[in-house]
């Protein structure tokens, strides 16, 4: 499994108008509706339900919101780079500006965990995160993310 199998180029965006965690989750749900074909309200509810178990802000300005959705057949992702960092209730209390959302089938176990581990490992690389923060072109962000995953796998 690599990031290019989870993330498609059209699932990478730079967002300028997010002011809260709730609005971010709604933006992710709206984006995912186009990507995976489920209603944004269903996706938003699943993201909110997961966040109610504990925040998915992992620290250093990174969040990994995720949800299980019954209609999916494979794990899929979306990446957002926020121009203005927001509070995400992260353990380190740092605002979030890099967000990688994952959506998994309701009955998947190992694949979902493998995907979360891969994304977490990738976004722990501070040099890679610095490159992501220095760019605003979605195609460039996609290249940085997928090239970074290949480098880490080698």
| Domain boundary assignment for the chain | 3-153
Q: Is 94 exposed, middle or buried (0-12, 13-18, 19+ CB in 10 A)?
A: middle
Strand residue runs (E) in 87-123:
96-105
Q: Which residue has the tokens 């740092």?
A: 94
Q: How sure is the predictor about 151, in pLDDT bands with cuts at 50, 70 and 90?
A: very low
pLDDT band at 152 (very low <50, low <70, confident <90, very high): very low
Q: How far apart are CA 24 and CA 99, in angstroms?
A: 9
Per-residue confidence (pLDDT) for residue 153, from 0 to 100: 42
Q: Which residues are catalytic?
A: 66
Parallel, antiparallel or unpaired: strands 76-86 and 12-15: parallel
Q: Give 93-150 pLDDT, tens digit per residue.
A: 999 999 999 999 988 778 878 888 899 999 999 999 999 999 999 999 999 999 854 4
Q: What is the mean pLDDT of the chain?
A: 90
Q: 99 forms bridges with which residues in the sheet? A: 63, 80
Q: What is the pLDDT of residue 89?
A: 87
- Binning pLDDT at 50, 70 and 90, where does residue 71 land? confident
Percent of the chain with pLDDT over 90: 69
Burial of 122 (0-12, 13-18, 19+ CB in 10 A): buried
pTM, two decimals, is: 0.92
Q: What's the pLDDT score for residue 55?
A: 85
Task: Compute the average pLDDT of residues 48-56.
Answer: 91
Residue 1: its pLDDT value, please?
75
CA angle 62, 67, 72 (to 5 degrees): 130
Predicted pLDDT at 62? 95
Domain 3-153: state its class: alpha beta
Distance from C-alpha of 39 to C-alpha of 59, rounded to nearest angstrom: 30
Task: Please state, in angstroms and rounded to a whole number, the distance separating the CA atoms of residues 85 and 76.
Answer: 24
Give pLDDT, residue 102: 94
């Amino acid at each position: 499994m690599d990031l290019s199998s989870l993330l498609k180029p059209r699932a990478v965006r730079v967002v300028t108008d997010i002011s809260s965690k709730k609005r971010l989750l709604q933006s992710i749900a709206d984006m995912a509706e186009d990507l995976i074909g489920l209603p944004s309200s269903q996706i938003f509810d699943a993201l909110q339900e997961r966040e109610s178990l504990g925040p998915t802000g992992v620290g250093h300005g990174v969040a990994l919101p995720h949800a299980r959705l019954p209609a999916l057949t494979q794990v899929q992702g979306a990446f957002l780079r926020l121009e203005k960092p927001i509070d995400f209730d992260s353990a380190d209390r740092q605002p979030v500006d890099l967000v990688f959302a994952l959506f998994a089938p309701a009955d998947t176990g190992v694949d979902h965990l493998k995907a979360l581990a891969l994304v977490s490992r990738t976004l722990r690389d501070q040099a890679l995160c610095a490159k992501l923060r220095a760019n605003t072109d979605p195609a460039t962000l996609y290249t940085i993310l997928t090239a970074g995953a290949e480098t880490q796998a080698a």
